[in-house]
Structure 1
């Protein structure tokens, strides 16, 4: 039987990792043999991997140092296909395949707009991303961006359209349909409480939560709303300082990473994506799957595609505090029909994604 190998650095709590776990679990449930190689076997999504998946731990070494282990694995196992995600991991996967001199098909998944990572990134890895993409990605067998916006960005970087096939992330799963109905014990979600705005994501520059917090201050001039941001990250202390500075301590909660964000999103009055850039923002689709009205920045890329240019939720300019506040107020006053939002979310289902991945990986 054809074997698929998935290569990731870890299963930290990001949308990319969550999407890959959804895909892996869906594939093994279709009877496909999957090896999941992790450079570091860590992260909150590790327990969510289906027990049928053969999980291999490379021992926590640095990613670049794991290339020898991956070469040896490919020579020994010679899987039908090797799927990786995120730029530096993709580069290592492509290099290892060619060093191993095996026939394994290498497919790289691209979750973010690379040019925006270069523009906004502060780390050397993100600054070098466009160069590494141009040098290495043409040596893959296929490139799978998660949205048309990401695909267009790759083509602008000089990659061949013939190598590129857009496949949306497998966001809406049977598990989500179950988890949205689970209870949330936080007192803000009790009956007769003020409306709760929810944001979800890593607490870092990309998600631009300072703009969302400042927008809340403007919303509260008209509506006594509260804001809850689910996630953890390096910007926690600066966000907490901003909340204090704006005298919003009683109106903003930062509970950190939660195991079931879907229940919180489903019970929110409005979900807001305030990002500077994305690939295909999973959390936006997850919120819609729970029937929650949404507001999003029209960032590159994904929100425009998901919301069909504003049909399924309000789109605002990046960093526009007043615009986000007005969109939140308008959405609170006149929310879209929840069933309409759920139907749109199901366009990004696990079934549709699996069908396309099995074709491109040739493992069905």
Structure 2
């Protein structure tokens, strides 16, 4: 019997998209769907082990564009019922390969961020190419998959797509292994029982994640109480953040340990989880922290935090890049934290099985609707 679904992606190996796909593929497989994950050398997603019914097939290329001939050959040979791709360059390749292969495979293209804001920060050439791609190629997809209502509204307006083409599908974040991995424990001395409270941020040290605003907010809070800030992640902004911490006089209370394979014990042990992003599509780390029962503070960026935090009823929503408001939100959660049960109930829709069924339905597998 042939393949039901093929996943075509080229991720960094440690992004939110990686976590989405690592959770989604096994959840879909448990529903009895046969899956092929096509691999591009040097890119994720990577799996420690594959469940029954899933194959990982290298395409023999190290770049999305050079993988297109192999993708065409695969589609002609296997003729899968559906293909899902992620991010614009991969989406373009998937749609072109389907057209060249002349197969009836349904294609769902995923965009995990708020595209209009994301593209505003890109080079002019990137903006022109991706805008043309979304406006001229995405209408030929069978489904455009986005993780939040805000992202759906944005891509509908930006790419001039009909609402019927766009499907909001919850990300598969809350899994049975999330809490198991969180129990592995943290050996860092900052999480000792009598230590000051730790505010935690997780993500790439990039412009989009805006940890500079979080640092400034933390410095305000640190003026009035003993606490610490830890940011897990790596990226180009490390040197700038270290310099800013020194300038603000909080270097001794700020830790940047770098990328951590398992951030969940840190999340579970943190007093407050903080998301300072300038834009998202649906912040995976925010859902993970809530799923572990943590009090959270988030910037009300497009898109996702407002939906997850229920308009601020689950945790403070503050204006983007407003460090004074962010500091007030942190103090609120330190003084009167959101109960764990309320945090966890806010993300009940983001289980891996619920997400798997939603993705399959959007991709045309009607038996899972």
Q: Shorter-normalised TM-score: what interval?
A: over 0.9
Structure 2 counterpart of 1:73: 74
Deviations 1:8-52 (A, max 9, x none): 113521111210111111112222211111223445x51445254
User: What's the CA shift for 1:247?
Assistant: 2.6
Q: Aligned pair count? A: 363
5+ residue gaps, structure 2, are none
User: What's the CA shift for 1:168?
Assistant: 1.0
Q: Report if aligned partners of 1:41, 1:57 keep a CA contact under 8 Å in 2.
A: no
User: What's the CA shift for 1:125?
Assistant: 3.3
Q: Which moved more, 1:137-146 or 1:338-347?
A: 338-347
Equivalent-residue separation in structure 1 for 2:124 and 2:219 (angstroms): 31
User: What's the CA shift for 1:122?
Assistant: 4.4
- In structure 2, the CA distance between the partners of 1:226 and 1:127, relative to structure 1 (3 Å rule), is farther
User: What's the CA shift for 1:54?
Assistant: 1.1
Equivalent-residue separation in structure 1 for 2:137 and 2:305 (angstroms): 28
User: What's the CA shift for 1:319?
Assistant: 0.3
Which one of 333, 337, 349 corresponds to residue 351 of structure 2? 349
Which one of 161, 164, 175 corresponds to residue 163 of structure 2? 161
Q: Report if aligned partners of 2:10, 2:43 keep a CA contact under 8 Å in 1.
A: no
User: What's the CA shift for 1:284?
Assistant: 0.5
Structure 1 counterpart of 2:30: 29
Structure 2 counterpart of 1:125: 126
- Give me the TM-score of the superposition, normalised by structure 1: 0.95
Q: Which moved more, 1:317-326 or 1:31-40?
A: 31-40
User: What's the CA shift for 1:96?
Assistant: 0.9
Equivalent-residue separation in structure 2 for 1:38 and 1:205 (angstroms): 29
Structure 1 counterpart of 2:195: 193
Deviations 1:306-363 (A, max 9, x none): 0110011100000001111111011100101111111112221112111112222345
- Give me the TM-score of the superposition, normalised by structure 2: 0.94
Matches within 5 A, 1:1-364: 1=1, 2-43=3-44, 46-52=46-52, 53-122=54-123, 124-125=125-126, 128-157=129-158, 158-363=160-365
Q: Report if aligned partners of 1:10, 1:38 keep a CA contact under 8 Å in 2.
A: no
Equivalent-residue separation in structure 1 for 2:128 and 2:230 (angstroms): 31
Q: Report if aligned partners of 1:194, 1:225 keep a CA contact under 8 Å in 2.
A: yes
User: What's the CA shift for 1:110?
Assistant: 1.4
User: What's the CA shift for 1:151?
Assistant: 0.5
Moved segments of 4+, more than 4 Å? none
Q: Report if aligned partners of 2:22, 2:47 keep a CA contact under 8 Å in 1.
A: no
User: Which SS does the other structure have where 1:205 is aligned?
Assistant: coil
Q: Report if aligned partners of 1:177, 1:290 keep a CA contact under 8 Å in 2.
A: yes
User: What's the CA shift for 1:119?
Assistant: 1.5
User: Which SS does the other structure have where 2:36 is aligned?
Assistant: strand
Q: Report if aligned partners of 1:170, 1:349 keep a CA contact under 8 Å in 2.
A: yes
User: What's the CA shift for 1:181?
Assistant: 2.1
User: What's the CA shift for 1:283?
Assistant: 0.5
